[in-house]
Chains A and B, each alone.
Chain A
Amino acid sequence: MIVVEAVVSLLLVFSGIVVFSSALGLYRLPDFFMRMHAPALLYTVGTWSVTLASILHFSFATGSLALHVWLVIVLLSITAPVTTVLLARAALFRGRQAGQQDLPEPLASSPAEGPVAR
């Protein structure tokens, strides 16, 4: 049992360190598009290690496999990319509207000014 407890503790502390470095990245990176990459660390490694710790702990506490926490990973792996893409498109649109210069060119197939606000 002490081995399981040690592994669970290790996973928890690891996720704490990962989440803290992700927050530092969110705070310190200079540009919005760089800053968007920092939370991905939380969405993947941080959540995975906490969920693995939870599965291990509850499986050994109850004596049967407790996989329900896995739902959090499934939900996050579906929703996090959607949020990221929507926010990146919003940032591109707002940057073009504000006349920001260091943005990538619009794709040839898309309208030049991006989506038009109605």
Chain B
Amino acid sequence: MTLLSAAATLTLVLYALSAIVTLLRLFRGPRAQDRVVALDFIFMVAMLVLLVLAIRYDSAMYFEAALLMALFGFVSSAALAKFLLRGEVIE
């Protein structure tokens, strides 16, 4: 096991722990906006996981997936925030 793959594994473990902690907030969150923030956070953690996997497996194919994930995370949380604000996504 090289240094880089050990570091990537440790990083992925830390990301998994933070996703679990954020899931607790997602389930507990007293109001809807807490849940939206937690969902956005988990989306971004998943994007970082893809970037780390790209380094771990030395492949450039993960980058597009990560970019798409960042885009869809933004779109989904903006739509959810708009829904919380107005009760309607597109008026």
Chain A positions within 8 Å of B, measured between CB atoms, are 2, 5-6, 8-10, 12-13, 15-17, 19-20, 22-24, 26-27, 32, 35-36, 39, 42-43, 46-47, 50-51, 53-54, 57-58, 61, 68-69, 71-72, 75-76, 79-80, 82-83, 86-87, 89-91, 93-94, 115, 117-118
A13 x B74 contact (CB < 8 A)? no
Number of interface residues of B (CB under 8 A): 54
Chain B positions within 8 Å of A, measured between CB atoms, are 2-4, 6-8, 10-15, 17-19, 21-22, 24-25, 31-34, 36-38, 40-41, 44-45, 47-48, 51-52, 54-55, 58, 60, 63, 66-67, 70-71, 74, 77-78, 81-82, 84-88, 91
Chain B contact residues: helix, strand, loop or mixed: helix
